[in-house]
């Protein structure tokens, strides 16, 4: 009496990876996600390697995880993978503060975010 297996949340030619609790705002993370959206994974890895954004190393780690999931779990060909989707969302917000003049309180918010990367196998047309 084992449980039924969960249906796949992505198509048969796709794999995904999700990275949570990234210490940056979703707006800044979306700039890096837009950098790799729609590109071949090889080109996307190169772009993330040489990007000057601080968070690009974490996004690169998530992309490598999605590639590994595609290769090991779903038997997809790594050379034909394309970054189909790369989207980010909000997560926790730490609220901090700082005393200001005249007894006031300056609010400091420290946002966290999460990123999801979906890679898809696309056959090359010859």
37-55 pLDDT tens trace: 999 999 999 999 999 999 9
How many structural domains is the chain composed of?
1
User: Per the domain annotation, does 7 fall within a domain?
Assistant: no
Given this model, what pLDDT does residue 1 score? 67
Which conformational region is residue 42 in: left (phi greater than 0), alpha (psi within -120 to 50 degrees), or beta?
Answer: alpha
User: Per the domain annotation, does 6 fall within a domain?
Assistant: no
Q: Whole-model pTM?
A: 0.90
- Is the pLDDT at 7 greater than 90, yes or no? no
> In the predicted model, what is the mean pLDDT of residues 64-88?
95
Q: Could you list the residue range(s) of the whole structural domain that residue 28 is in? A: 14-121
Residue 14: closest CA among 124, 125, 117: 117
User: Per the domain annotation, does 51 fall within a domain?
Assistant: yes
User: Per the domain annotation, does 3 fall within a domain?
Assistant: no
- Is the pLDDT at 82 greater than 70, yes or no? yes
CATH of the domain at 28: 3.90.470.10
User: Per the domain annotation, does 126 fall within a domain?
Assistant: no
Given this model, what pLDDT does residue 123 score? 83
User: Per the domain annotation, does 18 fall within a domain?
Assistant: yes
The Cα 22–Cα 8 span in angstroms is 26
User: Per the domain annotation, does 21 fall within a domain?
Assistant: yes
The Cα 54–Cα 57 span in angstroms is 7
Average pLDDT of every residue of the chain: 94
User: Per the domain annotation, does 2 fall within a domain?
Assistant: no
Given this model, what pLDDT does residue 126 score? 56
């Amino acid at each position: 009496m084992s449980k039924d297996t969960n249906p796949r949340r992505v198509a048969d030619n796709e794999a995904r990876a999700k990275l949570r609790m990234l210490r940056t705002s979703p707006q800044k993370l979306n700039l890096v996600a837009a950098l790799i959206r729609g590109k071949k994974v090889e080109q996307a890895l190169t772009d993330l390697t040489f990007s000057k954004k601080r968070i690009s190393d974490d996004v690169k780690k998530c992309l490598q995880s999605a590639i590994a999931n595609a290769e090991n779990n779903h038997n997809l060909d790594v050379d034909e993978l394309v970054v189909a989707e790369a989207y980010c969302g909000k997560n926790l917000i730490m609220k901090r503060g700082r005393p200001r003049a005249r007894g006031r309180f300056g609010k400091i918010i420290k946002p966290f975010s999460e990123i999801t990367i979906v890679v898809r196998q696309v056959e090359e047309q010859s």
